[in-house]
């Protein structure tokens, strides 16, 4: 009688164990597939946002570089003090417009952009101290561009190169 019970129980346990192992493997594979799909969808949504952030930060660097911003804001008849405040106001506005981009770039990239902006502001302020407030904006423009050209390391170009390098790593 005990042998009869074993003849029924052992095959049933084997079938149960095989079913359990198969079901466990199936559930693991399905979980992995769902995680992979979720990751793919996340990347599909976040990659364009990240690339757009890098584009906007490169554009920011281009827009605040002295050769670009001076041409854009300098008006005939402006005084040096007017040019200084206009340059700094434009840089501040550009910066505030792009602050949210730090969410999508690395901390190192954000620091490079922030340092470049701060160095341009310092450059403008240092050059402004070297000309009289009532001098023409042309004098200040010339001083800024000359000083900028003399820099060993161009802060905006350095930041742009760093951003481009990170984009290449992403892609």
What's residue 38's pLDDT?
Answer: 80
pTM strictly above 0.85:
no
Instruction: Write out the DSSP string of the chain.
Output: -HHHHHHHHHHHHHHHHHHHHHHHHHHHHHHHHHHHHHHHHHHHHHHHHHHHHHHHHHHHHHHHSHHHHHHHH--TT-BHHHHHHHHHHHHHHHHHHHGGGGGTS-HHHHHHHHHHHHHHHHHHHHHHHTS-TTSBHHHHHHHHHHHHHH-SS-HHHHHHHHHHHHHHHH-
Q: Give me the mean pLDDT over the 10-15 stretch.
A: 87
- In the chain, where the domains are located: 47-170
What's residue 39's pLDDT?
Answer: 80
**Other residues' Cβ atoms within 10 Å of the Cβ of residue 114:** 13
What's residue 94's pLDDT?
Answer: 96
CA angle 81, 92, 165 (to 5 degrees): 125
pLDDT category of residue 156 using cuts at 50, 70 and 90:
very high
What's residue 147's pLDDT?
Answer: 95
> Which residues are registered as beta bridge partners of 136?
79
- Give the residue from 117, 132, 119, 122 showing the smallest Cα distance to 82: 132
Model confidence over 102-149: pLDDT tens digits? 999 999 999 999 999 999 999 999 999 999 999 999 999 999 999 999
Model confidence over 30-49: pLDDT tens digits? 989 888 888 877 677 788 89
- Phi, psi for 56 (deg, rounded to 5): -65, -35
Examine the pLDDT at 50 and tell me if it is beyond 80.
yes
Examine the pLDDT at 7 and tell me if it is beyond 90.
no
Give the whole-angstrom CA distance, residue 50 versus residue 54. 6
Model confidence over 54-109: pLDDT tens digits? 999 999 999 999 999 999 999 999 999 999 999 999 999 999 999 999 999 999 99
């Amino acid at each position: 009688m005990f042998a009869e019970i074993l003849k029924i129980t052992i095959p049933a346990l084997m079938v149960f164990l095989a079913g359990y192992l198969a079901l466990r493997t199936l559930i693991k594979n399905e979980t992995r597939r769902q995680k992979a799909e979720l990751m793919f969808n996340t990347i599909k949504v976040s990659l364009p946002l990240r690339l757009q952030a890098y584009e906007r930060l490169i554009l920011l660097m281009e827009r605040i570089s002295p050769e670009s911003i001076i041409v854009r804001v300098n008006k005939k008849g402006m005084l040096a003090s007017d040019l200084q405040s206009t340059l700094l106001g434009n840089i501040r506005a550009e910066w505030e417009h792009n602050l949210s981009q730090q969410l999508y770039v690395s901390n190192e990239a954000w620091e490079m952009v922030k340092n470049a902006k701060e160095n341009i502001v310092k450059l403008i302020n240092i050059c402004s101290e070297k000309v009289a407030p009532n001098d023409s904006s042309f004098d200040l423009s010339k001083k800024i561009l000359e000083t900028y050209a003399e820099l060993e390391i161009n802060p905006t170009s350095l930041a742009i190169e760093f951003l481009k390098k990170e984009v290449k790593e992403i892609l």
